[in-house]
Amino acid sequence: MSHERTEMIEWIEQARASGARQSQACDVIGISAKTFQRWVKPDNRQDGRLDAKHAPKNKLTEPERQCIIKVANEPDYADLPPSKLVPKLADEGRYLASESTFYRVLKAENQLQHRQKSKPVRQVKKPRALTATTANQIYSWDITYLPTQVLGLFFYLYLVMDIYSRKIVGWQIYEMESSALAADLMTDICQREGIKRHQVTLHSDNGSPMKGATMLATLQELGVVPSFSRPSVSNDNPYSESLFRTLKYRPEYPEKAFEDLPASRSWVQGFVDWYNHEHLHSAIKFVTPEQRHSGEDKEILARRKQVYQQAKLKYPERWSGEIRNWDEIGEVYLNQENEAA
């Protein structure tokens, strides 16, 4: 019993001994007579709230918790955060717990260390807004430097991606920046992807390879519509910037400069294969760019939805609302403008 409650009981009992009525003594103290009667019962002198223990109905059992930890440390999942681990399990027809539960359990086990060499995303201004509703509508491209073993000399990686699917549709590495080389790359992409006239818009910044006469003439011949960032703004090609950041902060990215052109091309080829065919991209509901580009994502997301619906029927107490949204992403915007601007 708390010291305060003990004193109040003693005061009331002293007042009663002096001839006061119990109800009046309780009024003076500020409690009801029924509360006093409950307090003085032999088996109720301790505040019951202090010993109250309420376990949530949907609390994981210890075997379920250990299963989450075990699966999260399996070789196929050990390097994945819960945001990617849970979709992979869903693709295999398995449901162990929600993404937030995985985070909570792994956090308690101190297993949420960040494993990627990434930098904070920079905020950039947006050029004219464009919208893609399917693959091969809007491409984004840019050139980034790759270091060589000769100080001050670089290789130049030309990279073209589809913003709807996030697939890298074409790339090449050269020893120089050139409008003609960029035009050759774009010609090859249009042939491989079967691009028709006026089907694709190609967005880029205002660099000389992007706006060179050879490149613009080739785009006109191919029927590709050029789109450019605002001249007064640098680094405002967000999809390409994000892709280059992913490339250069991969754990496998060489710590030392590339020895020669074949070495750089070999490494980038490996990155492109991983990115297009294995990388579960967070912006497209954790499917691979190739699955999104080919339309396979529709069936994959439908299966994930079915897995979650069945899990909810089996464990209804774990949901307070709807299941996770596995509907495919519809429209994708390039630098969507603020209506209030």
Residue numbers of the domain that contains 47: 3-51
Judged against a pLDDT cut of 60, whether residue 272 lies above it is answered with yes
Looking up residue 139, the CATH number of its domain turns out to be 3.30.420.10
Q: What's the confidence (pLDDT) of residue 188?
A: 97
Judged against a pLDDT cut of 80, whether residue 95 lies above it is answered with yes
257 part of a folded domain = yes
Residues 97 and 152 in one domain: no
Beta-strand pair 154-162/225-228: unpaired
- Examine the fold and report which residue of 242, 273, 304 is the final residue of a domain before the chain moves on: 273
Residues 33 and 72 in one domain: no
* Cross-strand bridge partners of residue 148: 258
* Cross-strand bridge partners of residue 287: 281
- Examine the fold and report which residue of 11, 28, 51 is the final residue of a domain before the chain moves on: 51
Q: What's the confidence (pLDDT) of residue 128?
A: 63
95 part of a folded domain = yes
pLDDT in tens, 25-78: 888 878 888 888 887 877 665 555 555 666 677 788 899 999 999 998 888 888
Residues 268 and 134 in one domain: yes
280 part of a folded domain = no
Residues 13 and 71 in one domain: no
Q: Is 139 exposed, middle or buried (0-12, 13-18, 19+ CB in 10 A)?
A: buried
Q: What's the confidence (pLDDT) of residue 154?
A: 95
Of 119-128, 161-170, 245-254, which one has max mean pLDDT? Answer: 161-170
Confidence of residue 93 (pLDDT cuts 50, 70, 90): very high
d(CA 159, CA 141): 6
304 part of a folded domain = no
Question: What does pTM read for this prediction?
Answer: 0.73
Residues 155 and 32 in one domain: no
Residues 189 and 228 in one domain: yes
120 part of a folded domain = no
Contacts of 90 (CB under 8 A, 6+ apart): 303, 304, 307, 308, 326
Both tokens of residue 337?
A: 């403008």
310 part of a folded domain = no
140 part of a folded domain = yes
Judged against a pLDDT cut of 90, whether residue 220 lies above it is answered with yes
Confidence of residue 118 (pLDDT cuts 50, 70, 90): low
Q: What's the confidence (pLDDT) of residue 60?
A: 87
Residues 31 and 158 in one domain: no
Q: What's the confidence (pLDDT) of residue 115?
A: 42
Q: What is the mean pLDDT of residues 136-164?
A: 95
How many structural domains does the chain have? 3
Q: What is the mean pLDDT of residues 186-210?
A: 94
Tell which wins on pLDDT, 13 or 160: 160
Residues 194 and 82 in one domain: no
138 part of a folded domain = yes
Long-range contacts of 146-152 (CB under 8 A, 24+ apart): 146/173, 146/258, 146/264, 147/257, 147/258, 148/257, 148/258, 149/256, 149/257, 149/258, 149/259
